[in-house]
Chains A and B, each alone.
Chain A
């Protein structure tokens, strides 16, 4: 079955870059996503990448995809206190049909 794994915690200093990593098992994954969840809120789609791409940049966010290793990363440049949240890696593909499969999330905390 499909599985998405992430490390649970990441702590970075304000102004530094944050890199959140994710691995997935479904080789038929077509789209990969990063969602952000702030306390008490639903999930906000940050960005997505198609499996035929290896990089996507959107302002402070850079997504890297290594399809061979089934590894996805999210880099947040110049991390700010407002970036404190849980970040979920997710995938969707032929094995999962129409549903998006989420990882357990990485809690990002920012040190002053």
Chain B
């Protein structure tokens, strides 16, 4: 299994509070991604990173920010959580070569009340 650790695995918080999810990899892969999974939508890309301090928006980036200060860590922040951000969040990594599969962590289940 790819060395990807997501923390926390579960979190319950209240509307309006800030939340940060962490993804840590031990594979030294260049690319890292954050997805959310919701019923009827599959996995949708939130943000991705193509190197340290290099990030870009995905399909559903509103309300989310990311940071990557080290190769191994990619943080996803909800500045002011809303109930619509209740979801399961997955981090993925891939190597820099073209047409490489992404490998996923086990996810963070986030509930916003």
Bound pair (A, B): no
Binding site for A on B (CB under 8 A): none
